[in-house]
Amino acid sequence: MAKVFEDYFSEFQTDMVSICMAYVENVADKIYIHCSYEAGVISSNYFYCINGQVKKKHKINECGSIQYDVSPARQEKVLDILIEDIKKIKNLCEEYKREMPTEMKLIYDVQTRKFNAEYSYELMYSNNPVKTADDIAYEWLEEVKKVIESCA
């Protein structure tokens, strides 16, 4: 059977999860990936829940005994792949005449292998004089932190 739009879209998201999973050497509770495409600006960020702690990608060594390679070069390599996948999704949306989400929040639960995605088509920052794509990603991180901490 021929692949359809959703198959390709899922493949790109799976690739995003895979590279973020490799960054933590397959050891995390959850992976959070923020993707943004707004006003021609492509942005992405990622963070983790490890041992019940929500941490930015460069702070994950604070979560326990495992020491990850969090070098800037390695972080940038992951971001480069995420950006490339967003570009592929943008091209896919154009090819299939679908609207490109302005924001994608991807969550992968490593323990249950469940994947959840939230998509927005509203402007998140380009219509705001002070917010950037990074601000939106960090706001989401703070929201996740509050939820995780309230459950602890």
Total structural domains in the chain?
Answer: 1
* Residue pLDDT, tens place only, 62-109: 987 789 999 999 999 999 999 999 999 999 999 999 999 999 999 999
Give the residue numbers spanning the domain of 82.
5-151
CATH number at residue 23: 3.30.500.20
For residue 98, count other CB atoms closer than 10 A to its CB: 12
Banded pLDDT at 149 (limits 50, 70, 90): confident
- Cβ–Cβ < 8 Å for 93, 100: yes
For residue 105, what are its two tokens? 């929040």
Outline where the chain has alpha helix (H).
5-23, 72-95, 133-151
Predicted TM-score (pTM) of this structure = 0.95
- N- to C-terminal Cα distance for the chain? 46
